[in-house]
Amino acid sequence: MSGLHADSIRKQYGDRQVLNDIFLSCKTGEIVGLLGRNGSGKSSLLKIIFGTLSADNKFVSVDQRLMPSLFSGRDLIKYLPQDSFLPAHIKIKYLISCFCGKAARGLVMADPLIQPHLEKQVAQLSGGEKRLIEILLLVHSEAKYLLLDEPFNGLSPLQITAVKTIIQKHEAVKGFVITDHDYPNVLDIASRIVLMDQGNTRVIKDPRELIQFGYLPKSSLHIYAGGETNL
Amino acid sequence: MRIARGLCLFYWKLVVASLLFSLFLAGLGSGSVPFFIGTGFAFIFLTPVFHYLSYEVNSPGEYYFFYNLGLSRLVLWVSTLIMSILVGLSIMFL
């Protein structure tokens, strides 16, 4: 059973069961779009898979290797949190060597999106520039599976296009789980959509099911009436 | 190697701030306590305080940078305590 597998994940906050025996899988070559309303447990699920949030029950494996802790998955799974995570006082060129192997370092430093910022400290960058660099660092890391929590948040349309291109370029060798409220862009690149609803997951075969299950308003029906997605 | 590099980045801002404050406090109390003993002693106690203020209070989001390198919060706290004691004792014995 190759790939990233998260199974039997349960999480309760007080009396509220947020995750109820959740199963989620992702293989290399796959972009899984994880959609759901606010508070449906998307971020909690990603944090549990990554290993920074405890669960009442969990089983996470990568390529048949059990991932009981953060340390065991450090070279296999990386996580982009909702908010900026790069240390503000460090120059970008030093951060690259923490995330990328020798071979990738040169490529990343020469990337036209990163190159102008190499000598800048993270604190000198705008929100969009930080987000873009965070995504580039994770994508160029050696991790096989990337969990991206709201990667399009704060990005301009041009930057969103750049991020989508980068993700699709690395899709062949990595697996992505992406959650974002910018659902048109998620639907645009996802090879599979999973909807989180009332603590459970549903595999979405047709974007119109998102309306049926109450994630999208009925007024958005015209968007997918004749539109194409990867699903 | 990448973990060591990550730890260096983590401690860089702690050590600089902690050392400067330790020197300042030791300077103030140099009449009653030998300078290096005072500096080392202050360093041992100030480094965990700066860790708390910098990462727990001011920018908890930065923890994710170190989580992505495989360093958990517990590991970072334990290594802060060990590092502050080792460096503090070294300063005391100068």
Q: What is the pLDDT of residues A70-111, one digit of tens each?
A: 767 778 999 999 999 999 989 999 899 888 888 888 888 998
Query: Which residue in the set B9, B64, B70 is minimally distant from A85, CB to CB?
Result: B64
Pairwise CA distance, residues A52 & A223, whole Å: 37
Domain residues for the domain of B52 are: 2-92
Tens digits of residue pLDDT in B35-74 = 999 999 999 999 999 999 999 999 999 999 999 998 999 9
Decide if B47 contacts B12 (C-beta within 8 A).
no
Residue A230 predicted with pLDDT over 70: no
Q: Are strands A57-62 and A4-13 parallel, antiparallel or unpaired?
A: antiparallel
ipTM at complex level: 0.89
User: Closest by alpha carbon to A62, among A85, A45, A78?
Assistant: A78
CA distances from A98 to A71, A73, A94, A143 (A): 15, 16, 7, 13
Pairwise CA distance, residues A137 & A15, whole Å: 38
Residue A65 predicted with pLDDT over 60: yes
* Residue A80 structure tokens: 């982009």
Decide if A12 contacts A56 (C-beta within 8 A).
yes
Residue B85 predicted with pLDDT over 60: yes
pLDDT at residue B65, as a whole number: 94
Range scoring the smallest mean pLDDT among A46-60, A108-122, A210-224, B57-71: A210-224
Tens digits of residue pLDDT in A125-179 = 999 999 999 999 999 999 999 999 999 999 999 999 999 999 999 999 999 999 9
Rg of chain B in Å (alpha carbons): 14
Instruction: Give chain A positions within 8 Å (CB) of B1.
Output: none
Only one residue has tokens 């802060």, namely: B80
Pairwise CA distance, residues A9 & A19, whole Å: 7
* Residue A79 structure tokens: 């996580």
A121 lies within 8 A of chain B by CB: no
Mean pLDDT estimate for chain A: 90
Residue A168 has a CB neighbour count (10 Å cut-off) of: 14
- What's the number of domains chain B is made of? 1
Q: Is A20 helix (H, G, I), strand (E, B) or coil?
A: strand
Residue A9 predicted with pLDDT over 60: yes
Q: What is the DSSP letter of A220?
A: G
The whole-angstrom distance between A52's CA and the closest CA on chain B is 8
pLDDT at residue A224, as a whole number: 57
Kindly determine whether residue B61 and residue A94, on different chains, have CB atoms separated by under 8 Å. Answer: no
pLDDT at residue B1, as a whole number: 73
- Domains, chain A, ranges and CATH? 4-83+144-225 (3.40.50.300)
Query: Which residue in the set B5, B9, B61 is minimally distant from A85, CB to CB?
Result: B61
pLDDT at residue A225, as a whole number: 52
Q: What percent of chain A has pLDDT over 90?
A: 69
Query: Which residue in the set B65, B70, B71 is minimally distant from A87, CB to CB?
Result: B65
User: Closest by alpha carbon to A193, among A208, A207, A213?
Assistant: A207
CA distances from A71 to B36, B62, B73, B75 (A): 38, 17, 11, 10
Pairwise CA distance, residues A83 & A174, whole Å: 23
pLDDT at residue A228, as a whole number: 58
Kindly determine whether residue A138 and residue B68, on different chains, have CB atoms separated by under 8 Å. Answer: yes
Kindly determine whether residue B67 and residue A86, on different chains, have CB atoms separated by under 8 Å. Answer: no
